Amino acid sequence: MKINKSALVMTLYILFLMLPIYWLINMSLKTNQEILSGFSLWPENLTFDNYLVIFTDASWYGGYINSITYVLMNTVISISVALPAAYAFSRYNFMGDKHLFFWLLTNRMAPPAVFALPFFQLYSSIGLFDTHIAVALAHTLFNVPLAVWILEGFMRGVPKEIDETAYIDGYGFFTFFRKIFMPLIASGVGVAAFFCFMFSWVELLLSRTLTSVDAKSIAATMTRTVSASGLDWGVLAAAGVLTIIPGALVIYFVRNHIARGFALGRV
Amino acid sequence: MRKTTNQKAWFMVLPMLVLVAFSAIIPLMTVVNYSVQDTFGNNEFFWVGLEWFEEILASERVHDALIRQIIFTLIILAIEVPLGIFVALNMPKKSGLWTTLCLVLIALPLLIPWNVVGTIWQIFGRIDIGLLGYMLDQLGFDYNYTQDATDAWITIIIMDVWHWTSLVVLLCYAGLKSIPDAYYQAAKIDQASRWSIFRYIELPKMKGVLLIAILLRFMDSFMIYTEPFVVTGGGPGNATTFLSIDLVKMAIGQFDLGPAAAFSLIYFLVILLISWVFYTVMVQSDKGAGA
Amino acid sequence: MAKITLSNLAHSYQKNPETENDYALKTLNHVWEDGAAYALLGPSGCGKTTLLNIISGLLKPSKGQVLFNEQDVTEKKTAERNIAQVFQFPVVYDTMTVYENLAFPLKNRNLKPAYIESRVHEIARIIDAEDILTKKAKELTADIKQKISLGRGLVREDVNAILFDEPLTVIDPHMKWQLRTQLKALHQNLGHTMIYVTHDQTEALTFADKVVVMSMGVVVQIGTPEELFEKPQHTFVGYFIGSPGMNILNADVVGNKAIIGNHEIILNNGYKNLQGKLELGIRPEYVRLTDNPDDLPITINRVEDVGHYKIVRATHQGQDINIILKEETGISENMRYVSFDKARTNIYTDDWLVTP
């Protein structure tokens, strides 16, 4: 009886989550004519034309390539600077460490809207406007603090004795870090990378402000299409569906770490 | 954990520091710079002191946006936190296919680009082509989020609940999973009621992650921009113009750099202040759990 | 307080157990006498926790019944069985004070406040926690927390039985001894039926009137500490109880002679037609070191002096033989033989004791 009640709650909640997504998929498989002419719960004239538009038009599929490019760049940059920093925070006391850590976290609290304009001017002035690296660097603003925080949580879970034993066994710092420490916090690195990917992938404001043509993200492409051509609902829905897929794939890969991951290693 | 004092640790922090300084301090200095100057164009600036700050603090437009922002954040916290806990308590306990399915589907909304979340709800709520809008219309409700301020608010709140409750669910679920079976068994033996189990076993164990959840939800909802921007554009009128939307309008729409910069700094400080309180409480409770 | 009867009880964690090996707990009939103190002893994974959880109702057995005073409670929930249980790790309600923790099981049963108060103070006195009653439970150390869990187990007077699941694992050695003594005294005062699960033989032997030894899901012997020592029903008991355990030697038995290697030993009793794997069991305490060439020749490998006695580690044709000697006993060069105390020599076929 109790199990049934729980299952019912879960089913209802998941239904609530899936219905809008289903509706998007439903629309992406209809022609514009069908969308606007009447109301139907499923496509009556199933069509893949909307997807065809996206895969054949460079301004559409280019958006995906641009987004993936800067998201990956950002993930690599964020994790590589966060690893040594998180190690230092988890293992050592040093002057100003607590203040530094809090200051770092404040960057996660900074509204992107505050930074949009200054970023635009900064990257324009050094000639990086409309490049992938500009967006990747801009996103480090909130991803590096998050990555440090997550990694620090996981690293704190690794007993310090392991470091000491490794040094006694004659490992140098770098060999120790690569061969012993990294495998131990592998899931933490995975979780941190997942979050960097996630927040960089879902962000719109900065990526739109910092790009115009060459590095235009899919999110920006979508919002601009709405305002320009107005009502191409089918293609818009198809583009939306395609942006969900990378996220779904990433979730599938980390499915066994989701719970601990979202607790940022602090459970 | 026992830590050793080592000033050389600064070298490990250095790359991170340089990077974040580049993306945070330089832009922030630009903002501070603008906030105390005015310009007539041609890159001629002159010192105006705290005038912009005074203007922003007295501005009715900013006040209204701030009040809307606070109400919005309070409403979504009041819905998402209890709902998230409730769903987490009903998550399947044993691992298996059903659990994995639940986890993956629940996490899905979190990975959708924010503008697409906006698009989804923009479509979903339309009375001509959206399931929700159409249904409500058929049921006789006078629902139209582009015209009616209340409808716009309801739509945006449901959207945010849809988008972010899962974060609270996953955090609480992680907290619940860390409770050993023996606690539940002891509770059975002590004849504890369902409420007592929640109050004395589950809630204390969830406290840490719950604080993280509330902190994250507070920060992110206070900075919300993309989703309402796509759905309502801040309208109808200014009904859903929250702080970030207002700021972007001011800075990029009207190019009022000085007031926008002052606005930015005040905005940032407010978030910082509230988050600092949360952070202090969190660190405190972290210590409590470790003892 | 109740007599607990286990009737044809068996449990498997699989849905459709087929062979005997699928059962974590193999078919078992046993009566736990009212008011007695039992210890359930065995190595990790032998099924003792499974058995305990079946009695407390946290687990439903695949087969058989559990009876409390002749009343079938197999289908009843834990709360209805009115038992108390103390777990391996301290289970306390962190946000409550010590007082609230102890009062919790009583409050849930809607007892009178005046009674609750006097009872909590009484238990606090017994577990020596009177001065920390107002402290929050999360501020306590692990062993104090465990004392509070013990207290919560003892606080109800009318319980049918109190079950302990290795409750002293996290406690400091000197506290262990103290708590065990207190438990024993409590048992004598309160007269509850107590079942105490442990893998530590000292704990089991000092606490219990009767010890139930389990191995691989089977109860191999139920007896007083003395019976377990003198007449182990199974080679496992001989080996598990005692330090070092019983010497178990491969032997052939014909009539009243046991043949080890090519040496004959005369037994007190005659045995007929023994089949299967035959072994001779003798406690190290009952082995004598001699210089008589008619006895069993051995090679001494090592002598360990453990204070008040010596352990001689020896072998005979590759089979280990341990001998316990009094501290003052000297070992001379030509003491290269052992003889066994005939009255304490046991014969086992396929690991089970044979009665002559």
Q: Is the pLDDT of residue A231 over 80?
A: no
**Cα distance between residue A33 and residue A47, in whole Å:** 12
Please tell me if residue B179 touches chain C, with a CB cutoff of 8 Å: no
C234, β-bridge pairs: C352
Q: Is the pLDDT of residue A73 over 90?
A: yes
Copy the structure tokens of residue C257: 């002679």
In this structure, are strands C278-282 and C346-349 parallel, antiparallel, or unpaired?
antiparallel
* pLDDT tens digits for range A27-53: 888 887 777 777 777 887 788 888 888
**Cα distance between residue C241 and residue C230, in whole Å:** 10
- Residue B14 in any domain: the answer is no
- What is the reported pLDDT for B11? 85
Share of chain A above pLDDT 70, in %: 93
- Residue B33 in any domain: the answer is no
* pLDDT tens digits for range B223-241: 888 888 888 887 788 888 8
Please tell me if residue B168 touches chain A, with a CB cutoff of 8 Å: no
Q: Which of C190, C169, C189, C168 is nearest to C179 (CA)?
A: C168
- What is the reported pLDDT for B41? 60
**CB within 8 Å: B190 and C95:** no
Least confident of B100-114, B193-207, B271-285, C306-320: B271-285
Please tell me if residue B244 touches chain A, with a CB cutoff of 8 Å: yes
Q: Is the pLDDT of residue B80 over 90?
A: yes
Least confident of A20-24, A247-251, B35-39, B165-169: B35-39
Render the burial of A118-149: b for 16+ CB within 10 Å, e for the rest.
bbbebbeeeebbbbbebbbbbbbbbbbbbbbb
Q: Is the pLDDT of residue A267 over 50?
A: no
Handedness of CA A74, A76, A79, A81 (dihedral sign): negative
**Cα distance between residue B98 and residue B87, in whole Å:** 15
**Cα distance between residue C198 and residue C207, in whole Å:** 11
- Residue B153 in any domain: the answer is yes
pLDDT category, B87, cuts 50, 70, 90?
very high
Chains near B (3 or more Cβ pairs under 8 Å)? A, C
- What is the reported pLDDT for A227? 47
Please tell me if residue B139 touches chain C, with a CB cutoff of 8 Å: no
CA dihedral C224, C228, C233, C236 (to 10 degrees): 130
Question: Please, what are the domains in chain C?
Answer: 4-240 (3.40.50.300), 247-353 (no CATH)
Q: Which of B196, B113, C11, B35 is nearest to A202 (CA)?
A: B113
* pLDDT tens digits for range A127-181: 888 889 999 999 998 899 989 988 888 888 888 888 888 888 888 888 888 888 8
Compute how many other C-beta atoms are within 10 angstroms of the C-beta atom of residue B179: 15
Greater confidence (C5 vs C173) lies with C5
- Assign B177 to helix, strand or coil: helix
How far, CA to CA in Å, does C303 sit from each of C32, C246, C314? 43, 17, 9
Q: What are the chain C neighbours of B196 within 8 Å (beta carbons)?
A: 104, 108
- What is the reported pLDDT for B227? 86
Question: Please, what are the domains in chain A?
Answer: 1-47 (no CATH), 51-262 (1.10.3720.10)
pLDDT category, B289, cuts 50, 70, 90?
very low
What value does the mean pLDDT take over residues A218-239? 73
**CB within 8 Å: C87 and B196:** no
Mean pLDDT computed over every residue of chain B:
84
* pLDDT tens digits for range A235-254: 888 888 999 998 888 888 88
Mean pLDDT computed over every residue of chain C:
86
Please compute Rg for chain A using Cα positions: 22
CA angle C50, C51, C54 (to 5 degrees): 90
- Looking at A92-232, list the stretches that DSSP marks H as alpha helix, in order from N- to C-terminal side: 97-108, 112-125, 132-156, 160-168, 173-176, 182-184, 186-202, 205-209, 218-229
- Residue B16 in any domain: the answer is no
Render the burial of C2-39: b for 16+ CB within 10 Å, e for the rest.
bbbbbeebbbbeeeebeeeeebbbbbbeeebebbbbbb
Handedness of CA A212, A216, A217, A219 (dihedral sign): positive
Query: Cis omega before residue C244 (within 30°)?
Result: yes
Compute how many other C-beta atoms are within 10 angstroms of the C-beta atom of residue B9: 22
- What is the reported pLDDT for B73? 94
In this structure, are strands C63-68 and C4-11 parallel, antiparallel, or unpaired?
antiparallel
**Cα distance between residue C159 and residue C4, in whole Å:** 12
Render the burial of B182-218: b for 16+ CB within 10 Å, e for the rest.
bbbbbbbbbbbeeebbeebbbebbbbbbbbbbbbbbb
| Structural domain for B234, as ranges | 60-290
* pLDDT tens digits for range B153-174: 999 999 999 999 999 998 898 8
Q: What are the chain A neighbours of B109 within 8 Å (beta carbons)?
A: 17, 21
- Assign C282 to helix, strand or coil: strand
Copy the structure tokens of residue A187: 């899931």
CATH of the domain at B69: 1.10.3720.10
**Cα distance between residue C220 and residue C232, in whole Å:** 9
- What is the reported pLDDT for B290? 40
**CB within 8 Å: C93 and B188:** no
Q: What are the chain B neighbours of C149 within 8 Å (beta carbons)?
A: 186
Query: Cis omega before residue B236 (within 30°)?
Result: yes
Non-local (6+) Cβ contacts of C91 within 8 A are: B180, B182, B183, B185, B186, C149
Q: Which long-range CB contacts under 8 A does A1-8 form with residues at least 24 apart?
A: A5/B90, A6/B90, A6/B91, A6/B92, A7/B92
Through-space distance between the first and last CA atoms of chain A, rounded to whole angstroms: 30
**Cα distance between residue A8 and residue A2, in whole Å:** 10
DSSP letter for C138, please: G
- Assign A149 to helix, strand or coil: helix
Please tell me if residue B44 touches chain A, with a CB cutoff of 8 Å: no
**CB within 8 Å: A113 and B119:** no
- Assign B122 to helix, strand or coil: helix
C248, β-bridge pairs: C281
Element (H, E) at C236: helix C235-240
- Residue B236 in any domain: the answer is yes
- Residue B50 in any domain: the answer is no
The burial of A153, by beta-carbon neighbours within 10 Å (0-12 exposed, 13-18 middle, 19 or more buried), is given as: buried
- Closest CB to B204 among C95, C105, C149: C95
Copy the structure tokens of residue C212: 């139930």
- Residue B181 in any domain: the answer is yes
Copy the structure tokens of residue A42: 């499923």
**Cα distance between residue B174 and residue B88, in whole Å:** 9
Share of chain C above pLDDT 90, in %: 9
Q: Do residues C1 and C35 make contact, with C-beta atoms less than 8 angstroms apart?
A: yes
**Cα distance between residue C202 and residue C127, in whole Å:** 22
- Closest CB to B20 among A9, A104, A202: A104
* pLDDT tens digits for range C162-190: 889 888 887 777 778 877 887 888 888 77
**Cα distance between residue B261 and residue C85, in whole Å:** 64
**Cα distance between residue C122 and residue C107, in whole Å:** 16
- Residue B1 in any domain: the answer is no
Q: Is the pLDDT of residue B14 over 50?
A: yes
Please tell me if residue C139 touches chain B, with a CB cutoff of 8 Å: yes
Report the predicted TM-score, pTM, of the whole model to 2 decimal places: 0.81
**Cα distance between residue A40 and residue A46, in whole Å:** 12
**CB within 8 Å: B186 and C91:** yes
- Closest CB to B190 among C87, C94, C108: C108
Please tell me if residue B69 touches chain A, with a CB cutoff of 8 Å: no
Through-space distance between the first and last CA atoms of chain B, rounded to whole angstroms: 11
Provide the residue type at B138 as one letter: Q
